[in-house]
Amino acid sequence: MRTVVENDVVPPSSQSAIQAQFVTITEEEAGQRIDNYLLRVCKGVPKSHIYRILRSGEVRVNKGRIDQLYRLAEGDLVRIPPIRIAEKASQQATPGVEFPIVFEDTHLLVIDKPAGVAVHGGSGVSYGVIEQLRAARPQAKFLELVHRLDRETSGLLLIAKKRSALTNLHDQMRDGVTDKRYLTAVVGDWTNKRQHVKLPLHKFTTPDGERRVVVQAGGQEAHTVFNLKRKWKDFALLEAELKTGRTHQIRVHLASSGFPILGDEKYGDFALNKQLQKATAERGALKRMFLHAYQITFTHPDTGQSLTLRAPLPAECDRFLVSLGQAIA
């Protein structure tokens, strides 16, 4: 991004930007929507304000008005109007954090995300993985999430370091080229070695702003394949193979089939989850949701080679399985 400012105004990411400036879009920035671009570069500015200045026409591209759906092109000249950020926002600096790296090159960064960490800020979360990575790598010209994981889910998370890589991987996921596998532990007497679940999912938001999903006729088509890995008297370890990538797909497909994921606070067995918090003579404790993105296969966006990456089961999940003793199947 090359910036020309009026009267030496500071960049949009600064917390005291108060005058208009003009930004020339680079090759790496091209292709993204103007609203997403502004949300990224105008750190600390409320989303509602970004959309207000877009609606009012204060943001111009090549001296013309555009709407929030406009996709930027290399060489576009963007006028960003004067923005003053509240003092409160300026005090909330995002800490720079690096996460365990599974793979990295000039195009991609793949990390092993811990459970309990959101992938991005929003919905009451000040910041997530992507904001922390950007803070830790201020020299990085481009860092964007390729896909998402639920906050409570651990495992492989892909981050693009070039827009071309982001676009390529999005195309692969849309076309069903990528193969994403999860490990999950459920309660119940699971019997089938391999089971297809095809239940339509409807996404909605509760009055308090929480995202929820239900199985509902007319919802989005969703398909998960479950492979039985190990079985105990009351529990089973499954491999979930995603054929579609809907919000909370694995969690809702299992809960609706009568096999809720252990530790799932949205769709699980809440009484059991409370019991699992404490160890007993028969098993150890489990204080998280047992869902882990352990394997992904995709085509490298630059070399064209097939890559299969894996992240080992987190220690807490592994200890819980060991505590269950010898599997019966």
Catalytic residue IDs: 150
CB 276 within 8 A of CB 286: yes
* Rounded alpha-carbon distances, angstroms, from residue 229 to 143, 191, 232, 292: 35, 11, 11, 14
Tokens representing 93?
């600096």
Dihedral of CA atoms 211, 216, 217, 223 in degrees, nearest 10, equals: 80
Judged by phi (left if over 0) then psi (alpha if -120 to 50, else beta), residue 263 lies in left
Q: Which residue has the tokens 């793949």?
A: 110
Task: Give the span between the Cα atoms of 29 and 48, in whole angstroms.
Answer: 22
Identify the helix (H) or strand (E) that includes residue 50.
helix 47-55
Other beta carbons less than 10 A from residue 122's beta carbon: 12
Other beta carbons less than 10 A from residue 195's beta carbon: 15
Environment class of 297 (CB within 10 Å of its CB; exposed 0-12, middle 13-18, buried 19+): middle
| Beta strand extents in 32-120 (DSSP E only) | 60-61, 64-65, 77-80, 101-104, 108-113
